[in-house]
């Protein structure tokens, strides 16, 4: 059966092909009765627009690429939803292609080539790290890219992130105020600016309290619950044991809690635990987990809006970094019996601040 064309729709509706085009693209006013006849004809014929031909005429495909680094991480679904809602708001002419790099630089390069072959108009991405000279080349050519959650020092691209240094400082300082002096660090082994900044915040809080940073209290693991559990077992075997631990992402923090349970130890009586990245069931833990909550949805939404502004030439000039606020979700796992939420400090009170990338 032949595929119906715009001319077939025009003939059935009794109008010109130009009128059908105006109705489909909403490019010019068309009388309501005429619009109804056109849509009836489209429905009865099963007409679908030729997206390829249309993109060639417009030099745009209306397609956005989204590359996240770990689809299994509970943090990223909210980011994806934020991007998706912005793309959806732009109408049926805009689509989204989602890629999961699994924190793998080679997979990131492969997916980037796929997206470029699909002629996407721009990309929002959480970079996986590693040698990313291909991104420098892409950005040097003016292709719109916005980093989300993390950024790459030395690569000039727009970025939407949180203040990882300040948030980590705040949560570790909370442990110090509760009386802890031997505070360990569970570090996710990722090539990520976000993780390195969280380590920086941890060290800054120790230094501000006059406490010495001890590399023996740093336990690295891959970003997974099982590896976090294994690192937690090593931590529990250290001497003298720490009285508290800060996990740099939700996987290593959950792994630490599993290690405690496996050893029959109590939290926070035997070890206080705090982490970075809140998740829906954190409050259902016993005890409830004290964490830094990131605005995942707002990160994705802000990154997508910034990308469209770049694509539509509404945002010009040097690359910018938009920094959104986090919230300390203080629950029982840190040893505090009071459950409360506290926004971390930011340079202004306007929800986020913006700066030129260094």
Residue 18 is part of which domain span? Answer: 6-49
- Domain co-membership, 273 together with 288: yes
User: Do 169 and 278 belong together in one domain?
Assistant: yes
| pLDDT for the residue 49 | 63
Do the domain assignments include residue 76? yes
The Cα 257–Cα 155 span in angstroms is 37
- The CATH number covering residue 271 comes to 3.40.50.2300
Task: Specify whether 249 is located in the same domain as 185.
Answer: yes
pLDDT for res 1: 57
Q: How many domains does the chain have?
A: 3
Q: What is the pTM of this model?
A: 0.80
Is 267 inside a domain boundary? yes
User: Same structural domain for residues 169 and 272?
Assistant: yes
C-alpha dihedral sign at 280, 282, 284, 285:
positive
- Whether 355 is in a domain gets the answer no
As a whole number of angstroms, the distance between CA 277 and CA 200 comes to 17
Same structural domain, 155 and 221: no
For residues 130 and 258, membership in a common domain is answered with no
Q: How far is CA 342 from CA 212, 236, 276, 310, 352, in A?
A: 27, 30, 14, 34, 16
Q: Give the pLDDT of the chain (358 residues) as one tens digit per residue.
A: 577 888 888 888 998 888 887 777 666 788 888 888 888 888 888 776 655 445 444 557 789 999 999 999 999 999 999 999 999 998 767 899 999 999 998 899 999 999 998 889 999 999 987 667 788 888 888 899 999 999 988 888 999 999 999 999 999 999 999 999 999 999 998 889 999 999 999 999 999 999 999 999 999 999 899 999 999 999 999 999 999 999 999 999 999 999 999 999 999 999 999 999 988 777 777 888 999 999 999 999 999 999 999 998 866 778 999 999 999 999 999 986 443 444 454 433 334 444 444 3
| pLDDT for position 26 | 66
Q: How many CA atoms lie within 13 A of 271 on its CB side?
A: 27
Residue 356 lies in a domain: no
Looking at the fold, whether 128 and 193 belong to one and the same domain comes out as no
Could you tell me if 230 and 203 lie in one domain?
yes
Asked if residue 270 and residue 175 are part of one domain, the reply reads: yes
Per-residue pLDDT, 43 = 80
Asked if 256 and 186 count as a contact pair (C-beta separation under 8 A), the reply is yes
Residues 105 and 231 in one domain: no
The enclosing domain of 14 has a CATH number of 1.10.260.40
19: tokens are 């009128």
**CB-based burial label for 86 (10 Å; 0-12, 13-18, 19+):** buried
User: Do 272 and 169 reside in the same domain of the chain?
Assistant: yes
Residue 54 covered by a domain? no
- The pLDDT tens digits for 154-185 are 888 999 999 999 999 999 999 999 999 999 99
Domain shared by 45 and 77, yes or no? no
Does 270 map to a domain? yes
**What is the distance between the alpha carbons of residues 152 and 149, in angstroms, rounded to a whole number?**
11
259 part of a folded domain: yes
Give the per-residue pLDDT at 28.
76
Question: Mind listing the pLDDT tens digit for each residue in 111-132?
Answer: 999 999 888 999 999 998 766 7
Strand-pairing partners, residue 54, are: none
| CA 274 – CA 262 distance, rounded (Å) | 18
DSSP assignment of 23-66, as one string?
A: HHHT-S---HHHHHHHHHHHHHHT----HHHHHHHHT---EEEE
Domain contains 14: yes
């Amino acid at each position: 059966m032949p595929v119906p064309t715009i001319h077939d729709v025009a003939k059935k509706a009794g109008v010109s092909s130009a009128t059908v085009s105006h109705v489909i693209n909403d490019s010019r006013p068309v009388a309501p009765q005429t619009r109804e006849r056109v849509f009836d004809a489209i429905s009865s014929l099963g007409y679908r627009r030729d997206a390829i031909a249309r993109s060639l005429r417009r030099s745009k495909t209306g397609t956005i690429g989204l590359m996240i680094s770990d689809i299994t991480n509970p943090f990223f679904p909210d980011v994806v939803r934020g991007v998706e809602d912005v793309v959806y708001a732009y109408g049926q002419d805009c689509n989204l292609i989602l890629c999961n790099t699994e924190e793998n630089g080679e997979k990131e390069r492969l997916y980037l080539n796929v997206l470029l072959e699909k002629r996407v108009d721009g990309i929002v991405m959480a970079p996986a790290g590693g040698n990313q000279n291909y991104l420098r080349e892409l950005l040097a050519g003016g292709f719109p890219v916005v980093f989300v959650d993390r950024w790459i020092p030395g690569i000039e691209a727009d970025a939407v992130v949180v203040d990882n240094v300040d948030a980590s400082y705040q949560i570790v300082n909370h442990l110090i105020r509760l009386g802890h002096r031997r505070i360990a660090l569970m570090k996710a082994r990722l090539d990520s600016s976000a993780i390195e900044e969280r380590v920086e915040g941890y060290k800054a809080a120790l230094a501000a309290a006059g406490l010495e940073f001890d590399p023996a209290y740093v336990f690295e693991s891959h970003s997974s619950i099982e590896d976090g559990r294994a690192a937690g077992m090593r931590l529990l075997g250290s001497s003298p044991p720490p009285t508290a631990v800060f996990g740099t992402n939700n996987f290593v923090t959950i792994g630490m809690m599993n290690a405690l349970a496996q050893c029959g130890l109590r939290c926070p009586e035997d070890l206080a635990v705090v982490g970075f990245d809140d998740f829906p069931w954190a409050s259902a833990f016993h005890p409830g987990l004290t964490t830094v909550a990131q605005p995942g949805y707002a990160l994705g939404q802000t990154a997508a809006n910034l990308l469209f502004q770049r694509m539509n030439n509404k945002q010009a000039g040097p690359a910018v970094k938009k920094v959104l606020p986090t919230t300390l979700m203080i629950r029982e796992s840190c040893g505090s019996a009071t459950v409360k939420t506290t926004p971390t400090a930011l340079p202004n009170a306007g929800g986020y601040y913006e700066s030129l990338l260094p």
